[in-house]
Amino acid sequence: MTALPPLLAEIAEVAGEEAALALAQARGGTRVYIPPVIDPDHWISKLIGHQAALRVCDRLTAGLAGRRVDLPLGPTGTNATMRAQQAHADRMIIAGRSERDIARETGYTTRQVRRRRAAIRDDRQMNLL
């Protein structure tokens, strides 16, 4: 079994590691809404199967009216891949793309996108001395 972040490990407990990794690959790095009851045509059901999706929603909402979670990325790539992702994210930030689009396309989290955006802005500030 792959070492997974806590939320993905919790998903793997009820739906299997393959389902947890599929969710991370599809929406990792973004905030998603987990409904308390799920339909067969919901994106989670389509991705991992309806029965597995029911178990995931039941576990993650635990009787709540629904829950938003920051879905982890899961296993990451090599340093070269990470540098390429950073360069791609930087180009998308400069082009004015949304945090969600950048996160989904580059494998970053939305939090990492905000940090990259802040770093790029800091680099462009003029020196006041």
| Domain presence at residue 34 | yes
Average pLDDT in the 20-31 region? 90
Cα(117)–Cα(129) distance, integer angstroms: 24
pLDDT tens string 57-97: 999 998 788 999 999 887 754 455 677 778 889 999 999 99
Average pLDDT in the 30-47 region? 94
| Domain presence at residue 1 | no
Q: Do 15 and 43 belong together in one domain?
A: yes
Q: Do 16 and 60 belong together in one domain?
A: yes
Give the 3-state secondary structure of 40-109: CCCHHHHHHCHHHHHHHHHHHHCCCCCEEEECCCCCCCCHHHHHHHHHHHHHHHHCCCCHHHHHHHHCCC
Listed range (1-10, 69-78, 120-129) with the worst mean pLDDT? 120-129
Domain hosting residue 36, numbered range: 6-70
Specify the number of domains making up the chain. 2
| Domain presence at residue 52 | yes
| Domain presence at residue 129 | no
| Domain presence at residue 11 | yes
3: pLDDT strictly greater than 80:
no
Q: Do 48 and 16 belong together in one domain?
A: yes
Q: Do 52 and 11 belong together in one domain?
A: yes
Q: Do 61 and 24 belong together in one domain?
A: yes
